Structure 1
C-alpha cells in the first residue's frame, strides 16, 4: 500500500495553512496517537493473532512488518513528515517504544462493536470503543510506570505530550463492508450510517475530554474501486463505471463521507478549543486509481 509521498506532504502543508492550531509553523508535534483499521494498523492485529505473512511488507520493510500491506501506510508518511518514528502498536509488547505516541488500530476494526467473532469471518474484536479503553488506560499507566525512571522514562511519553499530540482517526470502512457481507442494499447500509457516526463523534468527545486538541480525520476510500470489494461483492456490469469501479459501492462511501464531514463541522463548533483537519482520502485515492497512467503511480490497497 505504498502511497504517493508528495500527496502526503501537500495534505500536511494544507492542514497547517488552513488550521494553524493543528501544528506549529514547523509542524513540530511531539507525538501521534492513532485509532483505526488496516489502513493504519502498524502491528496491532499481528500482535494479537499472528504476524501478517509475506508478501506483506515486501516493498519497503523487506519482511513482514505487522502491516497488512506491501509497504508503508499513510500514518507512516505522516510520522516521517513530522520527524517522528513509526508508531508502534499498543498491543505489541516486543521491542516497542511509545515515547512519541502509540497506535491502537487493528486490521478489520469497526467503529461499532462487531456482532460476530473474527474466526467467523467477522471484524476485529478491537473496535473503536475498545481502542478508546486502551488509550485511557495507556494515559494513566504510562505515567505511573514512567515515574519509576530508568528505561521506562525513555520508552513512554511525557505527560504534556497527550495535550500536544496529533490524534489521527482512519476508521469506518469496515462498518460499511459489514453491511455488504450481510447482503444489505445500499439504502439499508445508508440507514445505519448515522449510528456509526454517532459513535465516531462520541469517540472524538472522549479523546477531547482526555486532553486531545488536534484531530486529523480521514474519510473513507472509494469502496467500489477496491479489488477485494469488487471480488467479494460483485455487481452487474451495468453498475460498473468507466474506470472499473462499482457505482453503488462508491455511492455508499460518498454518503458516509458527506455525513462524516457534516459531523466534523459540528464538532468544530461544539469543541471550540480543538482543531480539526478533515482529510479527503476518497478523492486522493480515486484520483490515483482513475489517473494512474497519467500520474505514473502504482497504488495498492489492503
Structure 2
C-alpha cells in the first residue's frame, strides 16, 4: 500500500470542485481540544510573530492562489470560520488556529496573511499557504497535470523570499533588522505533509521515504536562514499521525487487520512515515541548536498529542474521534462527493466535541489545546 496524506488521490478523475474539496484534507496536524484558556498562561514577551507553513497556519494566503487559477478556496466559504469569526477567513477550521491562540497569549494581533493584508506587518506576518510544500514545485514534475493545478508556487524557499521582500518595510538596515527580529517569534512549519501526500501519485512508499531527508534538510536550512537574519526563537513543528486522518482511512483501507494500530484504529504505514520524518527532524533541530547556542530552536510535537486524544478521548470531551464534524456522511463522515461546505454535507452541532473538522484539519478546540502545549514548551525551554 502506498502512502498519502492528501485526499485528492481519487480526485484526479473528478471535477475541479471535488478535487478542490479533497485537497485541503491532505493537511492533517495537531492535537486535541481542551477547556483551558491559552491566554491565562505565563508568556515570554515577543513584539511580533512570523509564520511559515501550510494550511495549519494559513490565515488567508491561499485564497490568492486559488483565485489566480479560477478555483475556489474551500476555506473561503461557509461553514469555515463559523465558531469564532462568524464567517470564512481562509482558515481551514471552524475558528482559530494554533497561531491565533499563540498571538492572543502574547498580546499581539492575529498574524496577518502576507498576500491579502494591506496594513503594517510590524507586529508580524503570516506566509503560510494551504497546500504548501517544503520542496520546490519543480521537484514534483512527475505528478499528473491535473494534480499540478493545485501545486502552488509557495514552497519553503518561496515563503522565505516573501519574508526577504518584506524586511525593508520593517527595518532600514541589517543591524536594525537583527535588533527587530531578536524580539520576534518564528514558526518554521509545519512542512512535509504535503510533500509526501502529493507524491503518492507518482511514487511508492519506499521512494517517498527516500526523500524524507531532503524535506527535513530543507526545513533545517530554512531555520538556519532566519537565525542568520536575526531570529532568536524558532519553533519547528513536526507532522501529525497521517494514518489517523479520515480521508486516508477511507481511501487507503488495509486489507490486513494488522495494518491498523489496535490502540487507535489508525493506519500503521501512514503513521510510520510521520514518525520517520519527525525523528529525522528532531535530530536536525539538535544540530542547528548546537551550531547556534545563543538561539532557542524548539521542536513542536504534533504527533503525540493527537495520539493521546485518540487513545483517551474522554479527557477532552471528544466523541466519535476519527469522524469529521463537517462532512457528507459515510464512514468517518467523509464523502468525496459531499466535502465540507459542498451540497450534501452537514455540520455537527458542537465542533468542540470533535477532533477532526473537515477530515484533514482539526477543530478550534484542538488547536487551542495544541497552542497551550506549545506555549508551555516555549516558556519553559532553555538553551
Q: Return the TM-score normalized by structure 2.
A: 0.66
Alignment check: 8 A CA contact 2:171 2:180 kept: no
Match of 2:122 among 95, 99, 102: 99
Greater relative contact order, per chain length (Cα 8 Å cut-off, separation 6+): 2
Structure 1 segments (4+ residues) deviating >6 Å: none
Is 1:137 the counterpart of 2:165? The answer is: yes
Structure 1 residues 231 and 176 mapped into 2: Cα distance closer, same or farther (>3 Å)?
Answer: same
In structure 1, what is the equivalent of residue 65 of structure 2?
48
Distance 1:85 1:91 in 2: 17
Structure 1 residues 71 and 182 mapped into 2: Cα distance closer, same or farther (>3 Å)?
Answer: farther
Shift of 1:166: 0.6
User: How is 1:170-209 mapped onto 2 (pairs within 5 angstroms)?
Assistant: 170-185=190-205, 187-209=206-228
Alignment check: 8 A CA contact 1:57 1:69 kept: yes
Structure 1 residues 236 and 93 mapped into 2: Cα distance closer, same or farther (>3 Å)?
Answer: same
Q: Return the TM-score normalized by structure 1.
A: 0.82
Match of 1:292 among 309, 313, 318: 313
The runs of 5 or more residues in structure 2 that have no matched partner are 1-29, 68-72, 319-353, 362-383
Question: How big is each residue's C-alpha offset from its partner over 1:103-135, in whole Å with a ceiling of 9 and x where there is no partner?
Answer: 000000000012357863543321110000000
Structure 1 residues 2 and 272 mapped into 2: Cα distance closer, same or farther (>3 Å)?
Answer: closer
In structure 1, what is the equivalent of residue 107 of structure 2?
83
User: How is 1:126-275 mapped onto 2 (pairs within 5 angstroms)?
Assistant: 126-143=154-171, 160-169=179-188, 170-185=190-205, 187-238=206-257, 239-242=259-262, 243-275=264-296
The runs of 5 or more residues in structure 1 that have no matched partner are 14-24, 145-156
Alignment check: 8 A CA contact 1:29 1:165 kept: yes
Structure 1 residues 158 and 63 mapped into 2: Cα distance closer, same or farther (>3 Å)?
Answer: farther
Shift of 1:175: 1.4
In structure 2, what is the equivalent of residue 20 of structure 1?
none
Structure 1 residues 64 and 217 mapped into 2: Cα distance closer, same or farther (>3 Å)?
Answer: same
How many residues get paired? Answer: 276
Structure 1 residues 273 and 179 mapped into 2: Cα distance closer, same or farther (>3 Å)?
Answer: same
Distance 2:122 2:130 in 1: 23
Structure 1 residues 7 and 109 mapped into 2: Cα distance closer, same or farther (>3 Å)?
Answer: farther
